[in-house]
Every structure is written in structure tokens, then in C-alpha cells.
Amino acid sequence: MTSTDKLPTRRENFSEWYNQIVQRAELADYAPVRGCMVVRPYGWALWENIQGALDRRFKATGHVNAAFPLLIPKSFLEKEKEHVEGFSPELAVVTIGGGETLEEPLIIRPTSETIIGHMYSKWIKSYRDLPVLINQWGNVVRWELRTRLFLRTLEFYWQEGHTAHATSEEAEAETRRMLDVYADFAINEAAVPVVSGLKSDKEKFAGAVRSYTIEAMMGDTRALQSGTSHFLGQNFAKAFDIQFLDWNNEMQYAWTTSWGLSTRFIGAVIMTHGDDQGLVLPPRLAPIQVVVIPIYKSDQEKSLVMESVERVRAELAGFRIKVDDRPEVTPGFKFNDWEMRGVPLRIEIGPKDVAKDSVALARRDIPGKAGKSFASQQNLAQQVAQILEDIHTSLHIRALAFRQANTYDPVDYPELVEAVTHGWAYAWWCESPECEAKVKDETKATTRCIPLDQPDRTGSCIVCGKPARRKVIFARAY
């Protein structure tokens, strides 16, 4: 594969389109260990921008960061019954340390509820110590069998928030607050529209009382779980003895939550906005927001053009900007290259532009002539800011329209079966595991979430016809 080979279109082979984009745009690469990835500088810069946008929101809602250990005694996982059942098959186990066989094997954290629960039981003594609102940025390992870059890898990067509260109500409010933070981030930073909802019991986190999720529709209409927030009740507090003296001087178990968003979200960004030319990055997260390409044919033109380029670079210093002045490739090559890498806005400056004191602009989100315009070099920063805002909005609107166009309201089971072959089905469900399992067995579609926004009425289950309180989204998912 070289970068001159043609990218498959999304329609031809969405999966292969994705794999090639990730590698060609140098977002990530395969590591020598099966299922592990290397996040390359361009991909990591995108993750750093995601981190920044989330971290600001976490801190604004009173959270602080900390770091808990990578290695956890195996016995810890066994303290919460559902948790161990969920994670046991996926563990990486360290059995040798410093040349000796360990007395107790250690697992590499697949998630940190257990080790953090252990520490919280040490730190929390009184209601005055609550709430504890801690987040951690780090890596975890889950021994997945079928892996894909960003979407499912043995090691991945994420943040995991872990909070402890004095009351159930407060913990539930925190769970929902962080779900809202995720939705706000997805929509307002990544331009990825999401549906906020509740997971079914079958799909919830192992050890949670309730799990909430934000679900996004990818370009092939499959769903991608993009962030989750769990109300853990007193399950982990009881397993790890997190108790505190309450206002009446009585011992109580704390109520805990956990919530996480991972490098998987990069997959959501790629598959929501990308097109047949490659990546399309949302401006607020793009590592490079503006690429400037000088165009000239002679040394004389070059010096003229580069003078303008430097002025533009200075004027746009407030943006993440790159000037591509590589002498060894043509402007045409550069256009294609940066298009493939998803840079939101391209600025071209040639001798004619210099003469007119203008620049040529090309929006990544609108291919061809329709996305092109000219702008005066005067007040360029203001114009660029406006265009980047417009791109953000237009990406969001387009993705939302795509989701709406591909979300169906089936009236009977055959319509549901048909709908999930090419979209989401938003249907009444009686909430029985049997009906959920039947759909999954017969269509491969799972319940993605019971949206928080529900119609003001009840209905009949699309599968069994029994009364249904709420509608659910059925979809094939990543």
C-alpha cells in the first residue's frame, strides 16, 4: 500500500476504508503484539485535544485527577460477583516478577473499580470526606479476540472517573451529570451527535446497578457506544468496605459511580465525518485546523508568495496552523494529502492572490468548487474563525440528518428485522431479556440504549406485543 493507491470508497468496503484511513493518515499503526496499537503523533495530537476538552469539563464540575496502579491482585477482581464474571475472560496476568514466580498473580487493570474501591475504603472515614470526585487518565488491557485499531485493542487509553457519595440520589445525579458532560463534549467539540440513554441489563457494565451511554451512528449506520456512565449503587462499597460515619454518627456504605471515555472515540470521529477522500476532522479537535499551501513556479514568485505566507502565518497564530512548504512535492499532491488527513480548512496562496491581497480557501467538509472561496488578507483571522465555526456546525447538522434519515420506526417485527440491516430501529420494547435475545439472535442487532427522551405514551413490544413502557434503539454495533 502506498499513498497513491486509491482508497476504497465507503460504499464498496466501509471496513477496509476505515482500516486504510487510520494507517494512511498516520493516526495509528499495528504493534508487534497481536491486537495492540501504536498511536502515532497525528493520532495522539487528536487524543490530546480530546483529553483537553474533557479535562476542562471534569475540572469545571469539581473533579481532580490522580493515578492508581496498573497492577491489581487477582483476588481483588473476585470480590464483586458480576464484575469478575464480566472481566475474567479478558485478563492479562503477570505471574513472574524480578525473575521469580509470584505468590499471587497480578492482573493488568482492565478497569479500576476494585483497586480504587480498596483505596477509598482507606481514605473515606466520615461524611466530611465525601464526595470523592477523582478521575484518572491512563491505559488498560483487555484480552480481546477480534481487534481493530482504536475500536477494540488489547491495550487502550481512556479516562475513568470514580466517585463516592453519601447518598444514592447524589451518586445518581453524578452519573447523569457525567453522561451530560460526555454528550456535551461529543456534540460541541467533536460535532458527533449522540443519543443519551440507559443500557439494558444485558448490556450494562459488569457490577453496575445501571449504565448510561451515549450512542453515535457511524457512516455505515452501525452504532458505536462512545462513552458510558455507571451508577454502581453500593455494590463496590460493600465488596471493598467503603464505609463512613454519617451525620448521625452511624456507619453507612458509600454510593459509587464510574464513567469512562476512551481512544475508541477517535473511531467515532473517523466513521462519523470521514468521506471517500479520507478523514474529515472536526475543527475544535483537529490537530491542524488550517493548512497553508504556497503556490509558485519561479524563485521570484516564491519569494513574493512566501512573504504573504509568513504574514498569514503570523495573523493566524491563534489557530493550529501548518505551512506545507515541502519543495519535493507538487501543490496538487499536497491538496490530496491534507484532504486525506482531514484538515478542516486549506489556504492557498499564489502570485495572483498576492497581487489581489487575497487568499484562496477550500473547506474540507464541502468537496469541489462549492467549498471554495476567496478572502481578503485583511481580518483573515476573524474570517477563518467564522469558517471553522461554520464547518463545525455543518458537520454536526450533516451527521444528525444522516442519523435521522437512517433511523426507522418499525410498526411490526418484520419491519424491525429489515430496518436493522441498514439503520437503527427505534421501537417499543417490553424490556424482557427474551425479546432482546430473540432480536439479537435473528438480526445481530442489540439494544443500544433506552433513550432518556421518550414519547409521552406507552406502546406494545415490537417483538412480543406485550405492553411496553419505553422505546429502545436496536442496531448492529461496533
Q: Contacting a copy of itself (CB under 8 A), which of 3, 9, 15, 41?
A: 41
187 SS3 class: helix
Closer to a copy of itself by CB, 103 or 441: give it. 103
Q: Which of residues 146-185 bind a copy of itself (CB under 8 A)?
A: 154-155, 157
Closer to a copy of itself by CB, 131 or 197: give it. 131
User: Is residue 245 part of the contact set for a copy of itself (CB under 8 A)?
Assistant: no
Closer to a copy of itself by CB, 40 or 372: give it. 40
**Choices 7-15, 35-43, 359-367, 448-456 (CB under 8 A): range interacting with a copy of itself:** 35-43
Q: Provide, rounded to whole angstroms, the least separation between the CB of residue 118 and a copy of itself.
A: 6
| Beta strand pairing call for 424-429 and 407-408 | parallel
Q: Which of residues 103-142 bind a copy of itself (CB under 8 A)?
A: 105-106, 108, 115, 118-119, 122-123, 128, 134, 138-139, 141
68's CB contacts (< 8 A; 6+ apart) are 109, 112, 115, 116, 119, 136, 138
228's CB contacts (< 8 A; 6+ apart) are 199, 205, 211, 212, 213, 214, 259, 260, 261
| Beta strand pairing call for 132-141 and 64-65 | parallel
User: Is residue 247 part of the contact set for a copy of itself (CB under 8 A)?
Assistant: no
**Choices 101-109, 242-250, 415-423, 448-456 (CB under 8 A): range interacting with a copy of itself:** 101-109
Cβ atoms within 10 Å, residue 38: 12
User: Is residue 33 part of the contact set for a copy of itself (CB under 8 A)?
Assistant: yes
Question: How far is residue 303 from each of residues 253, 300, 328, 361, 462, measured CA to CA in Å?
Answer: 72, 5, 17, 21, 69
Q: Provide, rounded to whole angstroms, the least separation between the CB of residue 36 and a copy of itself.
A: 4
User: Is residue 328 part of the contact set for a copy of itself (CB under 8 A)?
Assistant: yes
**Residue 67 near residue 138 (C-beta atoms within 8 A):** yes
Place of cell 481487534: 147
User: Is residue 44 part of the contact set for a copy of itself (CB under 8 A)?
Assistant: yes
What is the total count of residues that contact a copy of itself (CB under 8 A)?
Answer: 57
Q: Contacting a copy of itself (CB under 8 A), which of 98, 249, 299, 369?
A: 98
**C-alpha cell of residue 61:** 464540575
Q: Which of residues 57-96 bind a copy of itself (CB under 8 A)?
A: 64-73, 76, 88-96
| Beta strand pairing call for 290-294 and 345-349 | parallel
Q: Which of residues 414-473 bind a copy of itself (CB under 8 A)?
A: none
Place of cell 440491516: 421
Maximum separation of any 2 CA atoms in the chain, in Å:
84
Report CA 167 to chain centroid distance, whole Å: 30
**Residue 84 near residue 77 (C-beta atoms within 8 A):** yes
What residues line the site for a copy of itself (CB under 8 A)?
29, 31-33, 36-41, 43-45, 47-48, 64-73, 76, 88-99, 105-106, 108, 115, 118-119, 122-123, 128, 134, 138-139, 141, 143, 145, 154-155, 157, 328
